[in-house]
Amino acid sequence: METLSETGAFGGVQGVYRHASDACGCDMTFAVYLPPAARAGPVPVLWYLSGLTCTHENAMTKAGAQGWAAEAGIALIFPDTSPRGEGVANDEAYDLGQGAGFYVNATEAPWAPHFRMWDYVVTELPELVFDRFPLDRARQGITGHSMGGHGALTIAMTHPQTYRSVSAISPIAHPAASDWGRKQFTAYLGPDESTWAPHDATLLMRDRGYPGPVLIDQGAADQFLHLLTPQALIEAAADRGQPCEFRMLAGYDHSYFYVSSVMEHHVRWHSAQLALVAVA
């Protein structure tokens, strides 16, 4: 692992790192924020998955999360959203290819050799960071924005014993029924829609839910609301009696102005949920 930068932030350290990924078959860059509490021993972890067109840098620099994480004593991990580099398949559209990995393991050409973001986020990157940094493996939460909210929800519902808290900000909530999903799933996973279901938060909510509360924030003025379809997920949660805090906030769109406005609530919420794990 190569250290690209490390700088002080709110008494802790914001670092950016690069490593050769076996899962993605290319170099991958990610960021880790360690709060001051990490100097005394392992701290809880909050994974943040970013949305379309983003890298590790967007949330690291725009979400305003480090100050709240320092106060809560929780580490932040910001992975990239897709494999990148020469020889990695891409597309002219912003919502497919590099910057748009959708947190799945692609099975279709030309994406399959590199686009294995599920394995990267769930298996490979955790093994690397838990070996390198003072992090508490038993207390992991996951959140994300837009495409990253989709990833956070599907990963947490599939691995609830690993991710002990989950939230999402403006998630792509029902991708199998949205143009932000059907296009990408067809390209990455093929036309058989049965292979899409494990990557659709609404379908997973109907099928299994999550063994704990879920937090979802959505801007009421989001220009992509018709593609995100949060109502489908909320209806599925209500039908199964899933504990869920859903906030639709007036005046907010899909941008990082919204993300940064709700980030304090998400960091504090995850910190409280993970504290319950610590004493369980």
Annotated active-site positions, please?
146, 222, 254
Residue 18 to residue 1: CA distance in whole angstroms: 6
Residue 20 to residue 156: CA distance in whole angstroms: 25
Other residues' Cβ atoms within 10 Å of the Cβ of residue 250:
7
Nearest to 100 by CA among 28, 136, 52: 52
Contact in structure between 140 and 47 (CB atoms under 8 Å): yes
- R_g of the chain computed on alpha carbons: 17
- Residue 198, class by beta-carbon neighbours within 10 Å (0-12 exposed, 13-18 middle, 19+ buried)? middle
Tell me the residue length of the chain: 280
Return the ∠ at Cα 270 (arms to 184 and 46), rounded to 5°. 55
Could you please report the per-residue DSSP string of 102-165?
Answer: TTSB--STTTTTT-BHHHIIIIIHHHHHHHHS-EEEEEEEEEEBTHHHHHHHHHHHH-TTTEEE
